[in-house]
């Protein structure tokens, strides 16, 4: 049996989009896919509006802390999904990169964060279907 696929979500602060994506991937795929998230310039804490928006979905992000992006995290992941970190994300040969263009929820209220959350959920569902089909 092949090892389970691993996914790394990267955004600048690791406080919004990448936390939402990691939360959904872990919630929807369970132990079938290894989930990581990190930021090129991590914030002090996860965005409280993002935490509240995910709580509406039954996903608790209160224990999640933004983490610094490291080359090891990239090298040990099969798929690296960037969300607005641009040229700051390290690139390694042989890694699969996807760039998800998404609005940054930073500084926005719940009404603006919900559509971002829902779009990330749709993309994560598609990613899970693809990874588990190919695996």
End-to-end CA distance of the chain: 9
> Residue 78: what pLDDT?
93
pLDDT in tens, 47-78: 999 999 999 999 999 999 999 999 899 889 99
CATH domain 6-134 topology: Rossmann fold (3.40.50)
d(CA 133, CA 112): 33
Q: What is the pLDDT of residue 56?
A: 98
Asked if residue 113 has pLDDT above 60, the reply is yes
Tokens of 30: 């369970």
* Average pLDDT score over residue span 91-116: 91
Question: Whole-angstrom Cα distance, residue 107 to residue 110?
Answer: 10
The better pLDDT of the pair 2, 34 is held by 34
Q: Across-strand partners of 81? A: 9, 98
């Amino acid at each position: 049996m092949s090892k389970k696929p691993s996914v790394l979500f990267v955004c600048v602060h690791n406080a919004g989009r990448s936390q939402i994506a990691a939360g959904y991937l872990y919630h929807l795929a369970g132990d079938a896919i290894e989930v990581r998230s990190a930021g090129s310039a991590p914030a002090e804490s996860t965005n409280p509006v993002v935490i509240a928006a995910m709580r509406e979905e039954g996903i608790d992000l209160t224990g999640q802390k933004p983490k610094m992006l490291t080359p090891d995290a990239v090298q040990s992941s099969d798929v690296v999904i960037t969300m607005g970190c641009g040229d700051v994300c390290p690139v390694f040969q042989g890694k699969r990169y996807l760039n998800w263009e998404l609005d940054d929820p930073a500084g926005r209220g719940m009404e603006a964060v919900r559509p971002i959350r829902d779009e990330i959920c749709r993309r994560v569902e598609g990613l899970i279907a693809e990874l588990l089909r190919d695996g």
